[in-house]
A and B are shown apart, each in its own frame.
Chain A
């Protein structure tokens, strides 16, 4: 709630003509939005494009933002829609894509100073999750990424996707069932 208060202060400053206030929002949410796009799209340059586009759309529509909504839910909604649009882009554009799985993994808590083995294991897990996510349908991938990566509640996911909580619940259950099958061998090795 306090987080949203800070966000609303930034938005109000922006509405009053303080352009740098938007930069504050970008700094605050850039990693979360990029991380979401990266898990939704798989490729770093696609994620970069989609995350950039998300913030540009937010910039254009910030003046129309309703204060009763949560800023990150609103940003997530824009990001999800942008990622879905990105996936629908023409085939010839995908010909120029390069693959670079796992290249920009970073530790969320660098102070943990993990051992190289632990870091390697984390990277392996990240790659396995990404490959499994790629095999899910867009609908199932979106809900599971919002839940497990974004850490959103069912209510927030239903708000982002504009579907009922029951739909969110059943999609998350289905996504987990499919992921269990896809990651079965990987989980058995661990």
Chain B
């Protein structure tokens, strides 16, 4: 086995990923090759660095947050129904207002001479500031008499 091939096999050898035939030939090569043995030692040293028993742990409350996010995600996925309901509600209200405006306009513009009496009866012009026969009217009459004097 040549050194170039042996060096390529060191990494899978270390990981136990070589078949028995290649493993044996690599081992017999390294028995006679100081350079490749050195390569293996260097690779083992690096591997040992990663094997330190220090690891990162998920932050406190991680699982609780995942479950809360999953629940809110589930809710938002089903949220198209209330959104649709609100949209439909707005459409109905707008339609009702529209119908009101259109029918009101029709009533005012569509009133002919025969209906004028009815229309004018709704006019504010028929109302006097003080209705006749009321206490206010009596008071105004008295003050007018006083002014005339």
Contact = CB atoms under 8 A, between A and B. Distances in A.
A108 B56 CA distance: 8
A106 B56 contact: yes
A176 B45 CA distance: 11
B15 A55 contact: no
A52 B66 CA distance: 6
A187 B54 contact: no
B54 A125 contact: yes
Interface string A25-69: 011001101110011000010011001100110011000000000
Contacts, number: 115
Interface in B52-74: 52-59, 62-63, 65-67, 69-70, 73
Interface stretch (A70-78, A80-88, A90-98, A148-156): A148-156
Contact of B55 (A59, A106, A169): A106
B13 to A, nearest CB: 11
A161 interface: no
Interface in A127-184: 128-129, 147-149, 153-154, 169, 172-173, 176, 179-180, 183
Contacts of B73: 56, 59-60
A149 B63 CA distance: 21
A148 B50 contact: yes
Given A56-B69, A104-B59, A109 B53 contact: yes
B11 A35 contact: no
A56 B17 contact: no
A187 B46 CA distance: 8
Interface of A: 22-23, 26-27, 30-31, 33-35, 38-39, 44, 47-48, 51-52, 55-56, 59-60, 104-109, 112, 122-123, 125-126, 128-129, 147-149, 153-154, 169, 172-173, 176, 179-180, 183, 186-187
13 contacts: A27-B63, A35-B57, A48-B58, A56-B73, A59-B70, A104-B57, A104-B59, A106-B54, A107-B55, A123-B54, A125-B49, A154-B17, A176-B46
